[in-house]
Amino acid sequence: QVWGEPPARHYHALYLALLAARGQKPTSIRKGAMSVVTVATKPFADQKPGTSGLRKKVPVFQQPHYVENFIQSIFDSLEDYAGTSLVVGGDGRYYNREVVQTVIRMAAANGFGRVLVGRGGLLSTPAASCVIRGREAFGGIILSASHNPGGPDGDFGIKYNIGNGGPAPEKITDAIFERTKTISEYRTLDLSNVDLDRLGAIEIGGMAVEVIDPVADYQALMASLFDFTAIRAMFASGFTMRFDAMHAVTGPYARAILEEELGAPAGTVVNGTPLPDFGGHHPDPNLVHAKELYDLMMSDAAPDFGAASDGDGDRNLIIGRGVFVTPSDSLAILAANAHLAPGYRQGLKGIARSMPTSGAADRVAAKLGVACYETPTGWKFFGNLLDAGLATICGEESAGTGSDHVREKDGLWAVLLWLNVLAARKQPVLEIVREHWATYGRNYYSRHDYEEVDAKAANGLMDHLRARLDSLPGTRLPAGTVQAADDFAYSDPVDGSVSANQGLRVLFTDGSRIVLRISGTGTAGATLRLYLERYEPDPARHGQDTQAALADLVETADRLAELKARTGRQAPTVIT
Ligand code: VG1
Ligand code: CO
């Protein structure tokens, strides 16, 4: 194995390979001699992690000590990590490289034994999860604000993942937040930057820093799950596809796997180079921000299959020629067909979906005779179910699908499972979707987002509806008669922890639903999410326009929550 030459400017740099050859760990170097510095600091009041870590505008993170306070608070909330490995990487957005360097220095000063970092500071969220698990790291720090825009005025984010590769559970994120309120100092090293672009290992401050290929571990995992031979044969026989990486982190993964390994023609992957500002776009794979792909897929020039992923590579958009597959339907269809892929031939142990996600997957679970779990929004709630072997496939309406192969949702994984299903069934996407609806019925589904609403108005709206919930059952509304209404609370079947206030639900007697919640990932004002669902068993009525099919529910939601009056908006910002 050839290791990169450590740049001369590194203080006490050594080849890890040299040590490894001698069977040693870099512990012979005395700590303390390593210029550890303790820096006095004051708490910031706004470091509460949301649905997926701490997300703020870049200038907020650029305040002196802001990043360091949060990283030290993470370390202070962990136990017994001395000498263990920490994985670090991000989606390549603006400020990624700087924060990677900060994390490396602070990890060394706090006693980690090794940092594994993706070359260039890059690691997609699912790849980070894969590396944490595969290399048995203590945990990982993922730098991403996912689908939020990047650049100097865009968003940035920091998330901690535990040793199972998944997002830290609430117990830990709560502890981190508590720590940020009292922190008075942090530890770092007085060292210059590490060369992130050269593969190999060096040593700083008694800690090994190993720059790894960000794609390799992940690519090997994908090859172990899917029938690459069948997919390769499908491409060889003329199957066409476009994958839009949206100038974000999945570009290198998609090129390596789709084009180089599976033989899709060069140019299949577009916008494949990660840019710090994502080319000025929102790397959000939905019908608004991936409109170009959508338009192509609805045109005569459409390839057989279209897909996209988000900033950090954990979301997916699936569009067949002439048909957009809603994420909720995609979850259900993948669950129903997963056995066609070698990694899932044994069948599913169970399915899990977030509460706002449509009930389409529940029907598949019922038919398969396995349990379906309903969790709060956010991937951290799936971890326990996956670890306990209660579920194999999980998904969210927000374009997140994944399985027990890692502990994050995984955009490219979903795309590859779709390709595997297409290669096995040899049918167009449209036909597969229609057959699925004919078998299980169709769950018409849409989400209406009201972005950057005044936070007080949004909270007032929620409080008002929450106060009315108890009086709603039995009420007749344009969408039907209310059967039940509540503020969703989740009791984890594995560890018994309870998470309350996870979204307001109004359930109708015919199975239709209205759900309202405030986003936990927004960085400006409040984003209100209105989720609408109606079940249609009759195949003769499966051809309706989604928004038309849900019009009653939209009207009812406005009546119940006074959306227009309280937000001052006549229409949602984004409809997905
Ligand atoms: C949103 C989605 C949620 C997803 C989360 C993180 O959260 O609704 O389903 O898990 O983003 O995804 P919220 O609280 O804004 O609704 V990602 O790809 O942004 O890490
Ligand atoms: Co994401």
pLDDT (average), residues 441-452 = 96
Q: Residue 141 in contact with residue 78, Cβ under 8 Å?
A: no
CA distances in angstroms from 320 to 250, 307, 548, listed in the order given = 20, 8, 22
pLDDT (average), residues 166-194 = 95
**Local confidence band at 107 (pLDDT 50, 70, 90 cut-offs):** very high
The 3-state DSSP class for residue 372 equals: strand
Question: From the CB of 377, is ligand 1 less than 6 Å away?
Answer: yes
pLDDT at 24: 57
Distance 28 CA to ligand 1 centre (A): 44
Identify which ligand lies nearest to the alpha carbon of 574. 1
For 137-179, the pLDDT digits (tens) are 999 999 999 999 999 999 999 999 999 999 999 899 999 999 9
Q: Count other C-beta atoms under 10 Å from residue 295's C-beta.
A: 12
CA distances in angstroms from 409 to 255, 256, 400, listed in the order given = 20, 20, 5
**Local confidence band at 32 (pLDDT 50, 70, 90 cut-offs):** very low
> How far is C-alpha 292 from the chain's CA centre?
22
- Give 219-238 as a 3 state SS string: HHHHHHHCCHHHHHHHHHCC
Strands in 54-57's sheet, in edge-to-edge order, are: 54-57, 155-161, 139-143, 85-90, 114-122, 207-212, 200-204
User: Closest ligand 1 atom, CA of 527?
Assistant: 15
- The backbone torsions φ and ψ at residue 402, rounded to the nearest 5 degrees and listed phi first, read -170, 180
- The backbone torsions φ and ψ at residue 50, rounded to the nearest 5 degrees and listed phi first, read -100, -145
- Give 28-91 as a 3 state SS string: CCCCCCCCEEEEECCCCCCCCCECCEEEEEHHHHCCCCHHHHHHHHHHHCCCCCCCCEEEEEEC
Pure H helices in 426-550: 429-440, 455-468, 546-549
User: Closest ligand 1 atom, CA of 529?
Assistant: 16
Q: Residue 157 in contact with residue 283, Cβ under 8 Å?
A: no
Average pLDDT, the chain: 93
- Active site members: 146
Identify which ligand lies nearest to the alpha carbon of 527. 1
Q: Which amino acid, 232?
A: R
Identify which ligand lies nearest to the alpha carbon of 576. 1
Question: From the CB of 311, is ligand 1 less than 6 Å away?
Answer: no
- Strand pairing partners for 88? 117, 141
DSSP 265: P
> Rounded CA gap, 547 and 399, in Å?
18
Question: From the CB of 381, is ligand 1 less than 6 Å away?
Answer: no
> Rounded CA gap, 112 and 134, in Å?
18
User: Closest ligand 1 atom, CA of 522?
Assistant: 15
Distance 564 CA to ligand 2 centre (A): 29
Question: From the CB of 519, is ligand 1 less than 6 Å away?
Answer: yes
DSSP 315: B
Element (H, E) at 333: helix 327-337
pLDDT (average), residues 308-333 = 97
> Of the candidates 468, 507, 144, which has an alpha carbon nearest to the alpha carbon of residue 311?
144
Distance 146 CA to ligand 1 centre (A): 8
User: Closest ligand 1 atom, CA of 379?
Assistant: 10
Question: From the CB of 159, is ligand 1 less than 6 Å away?
Answer: no
Report the DSSP pairing between strands 490-491 and 498-499: antiparallel
CA-closest residue to ligand 1 atom 2: 398
For 408-440, the pLDDT digits (tens) are 999 999 999 999 999 999 999 999 999 999 999
Question: From the CB of 536, is ligand 1 less than 6 Å away?
Answer: no
pLDDT at 3: 33
The 3-state DSSP class for residue 20 equals: helix
Question: From the CB of 396, is ligand 1 less than 6 Å away?
Answer: yes
Q: Count other C-beta atoms under 10 Å from residue 156's C-beta.
A: 29
Percent of the chain residues topping a pLDDT of 70: 94
Distance 494 CA to ligand 1 centre (A): 23
pLDDT at 34: 63
**Local confidence band at 15 (pLDDT 50, 70, 90 cut-offs):** very low
Q: Which two tokens stand for residue 74?
A: 């993470």
Residues 49-72: b if buried by 16+ CB within 10 A, e if exposed: bbbbbbbbbbebbeeebbbbbbbb
pLDDT (average), residues 267-295 = 94
**Local confidence band at 4 (pLDDT 50, 70, 90 cut-offs):** very low
Distance 377 CA to ligand 1 centre (A): 7
Q: Which amino acid, 407?
A: R
For 108-147, the pLDDT digits (tens) are 999 999 999 999 999 999 999 999 999 999 999 999 999 9
> Of the candidates 401, 54, 97, 451, which has an alpha carbon nearest to the alpha carbon of residue 282?
451
